[in-house]
Amino acid sequence: MTTRRATITDVAALAGVSVATASKALNGKDDVRATTRQLVIDAATQLSFQPNVLAQGLLSGQTRTVGLLTSDMVGRFGIPVLLGAENAFGAGEMAVLLCDARGDAIREQHYIRTLLSRRVDGLIVVGESTNPRPSITKDVPVPVVYAYAPSDDPADVSFVPDDEGGARLAVRHLIATGRTRIAHITGPTDYKAATDRDRGIRGTLDEAGLELAGETLYGAWSQRWGRLAADMLLLNEPKLDAVFCGNDQIAAGFIEAARERGRRVPDDIAVIGYDNWEVLSEETRPTLTTIDPDLERLGHTAAQHLFAAIDGKATPGVHSMPTRLVIRDSTAPSMPEL
């Protein structure tokens, strides 16, 4: 177990050639006879030789390593993004150095220094909300790509979920299934996701000649708020036939409260959530129609664009990534005059 690992010198010696030839043989370069190459390869496998990545990196200046700087892994959104990114990097034979700054700017600075001293080839910054975050691109001599939370500098490369589009998708689905009096319950106003979606909803309703039922109810991202808002809404908007909820938790709360008030979902009221958080959206009764922001794909795409940026082909700007509508039971078509 503690036996020294074989170097290319050992391989060359065993194969009876020089180090240079061994290197060329193993790296598929020309100028080496087929028989010689086989000799070297055999020697390498026999010694289970693996080139020292440090020495390679020292020489080439490339480490084939990227830093993954996440601001808060406890939250729900960073993980899938990170997962998608990790997957893309793994396929590209890149290694991922993971750093969780826990939303602390000091920790973030510390980690940036650490990553740079390790000579990462690039950096991917994963946020926890879609609110823009401070750019670090200018402080760093390698390409940076932002995922989920965009950089506040529009010249940087950012990938964000298309919240406005997701909301449009949802509302079009509600309208297509015969709903006309649609309300909106969502999280706090200082979340860009909440206001973006509100814009999408109002735009889509407008195009259909409809209006939002009541005012947008801004609150919290919790089930508790979903219940509370449901109580208010069911009282004030008796003719309500659909509600768009800012996340699946709010939707779950709404469904719960609606049933307690004797309203049937989806027969009386259709409910649509956001995030497609499956532990919730598949456990509500009825199961929850929701918008899936496809975060894993977002992370994957961001990683691929970091590759491109490392190769000098950056694509600046804030890129909106499409969302998907996942139809379950909470939005079955209403049957008017039944």
Partner DNA sequence: CTACGTTACGAAAACCTTTTAGGTGATTTC
Partner DNA sequence: GAAATCACCTAAAAGGTTTTCGTAACGTAG
> Which residues here bind a copy of itself, judged by CB under 8 A?
1-3, 5, 50-55, 57-58, 63, 65, 68, 73-74, 79, 82-83, 86-87, 90, 93, 95-100, 107, 111, 113-119, 138, 141, 222-224, 249, 253, 279, 283
Q: Which residue has 């509100």 as its token pair?
A: 198
96 binds, among DNA, a copy of itself, none (CB under 5 to 8 A by kind): a copy of itself
Smallest separation, CB 36 to DNA (Å): 4
Residue closer to a copy of itself by CB (options 140, 325) is 140
90 binds, among a copy of itself, DNA, none (CB under 5 to 8 A by kind): a copy of itself
Q: How remote is the C-alpha of 87 from its chain's centroid?
A: 12
CA separation for the pair 250, 230 (Å, rounded): 9
Helix runs in 92-222, H state only: 105-117, 163-176, 192-207
Tokens of 175: 């309208």
27 binds, among a copy of itself, DNA, none (CB under 5 to 8 A by kind): DNA
Smallest separation, CB 121 to a copy of itself (Å): 12
Smallest separation, CB 21 to DNA (Å): 3
Kind and range of the H or E run holding 124: strand 122-126
Residue closer to DNA by CB (options 2, 35) is 35
Smallest separation, CB 186 to a copy of itself (Å): 17
CA separation for the pair 159, 106 (Å, rounded): 24
24 binds, among a copy of itself, DNA, none (CB under 5 to 8 A by kind): DNA
Tokens of 177: 């299934």
97 binds, among a copy of itself, DNA, none (CB under 5 to 8 A by kind): a copy of itself
How far is the CA of 57 from the CAs of 53, 69, 141, in angstroms?
6, 22, 17
Smallest separation, CB 257 to a copy of itself (Å): 11
Residue closer to a copy of itself by CB (options 161, 299) is 299
Name the residue type at position 162.
D
Smallest separation, CB 273 to a copy of itself (Å): 14
Residues in Cβ contact with 79 at an 8 Å cutoff, skipping those fewer than 6 apart: 73
288 with 248: CB under 8 angstroms? yes
Smallest separation, CB 337 to a copy of itself (Å): 31
23 binds, among a copy of itself, DNA, none (CB under 5 to 8 A by kind): DNA
Residue closer to a copy of itself by CB (options 281, 301) is 281
Rounded to 5 degrees, φ, ψ at 151 are: -70, 150
Residue closer to DNA by CB (options 95, 208) is 95
* Residues at the contact surface with DNA, assessed by CB under 7 A: 4-5, 7-9, 16-21, 23-24, 26-27, 29, 31-33, 35-36, 49-52, 55-56, 58-61
Residue closer to DNA by CB (options 32, 295) is 32
Q: Which residue has 């973006």 as its token pair?
A: 196
Q: Which residue has 């402080």 as its token pair?
A: 139
Residue closer to DNA by CB (options 114, 315) is 114
232 binds, among a copy of itself, DNA, none (CB under 5 to 8 A by kind): none
267 with 282: CB under 8 angstroms? no
Number of neighbours of residue 51 by Cβ within 10 angstroms = 14
CA separation for the pair 245, 194 (Å, rounded): 10
The three-class DSSP label of residue 320 is: strand
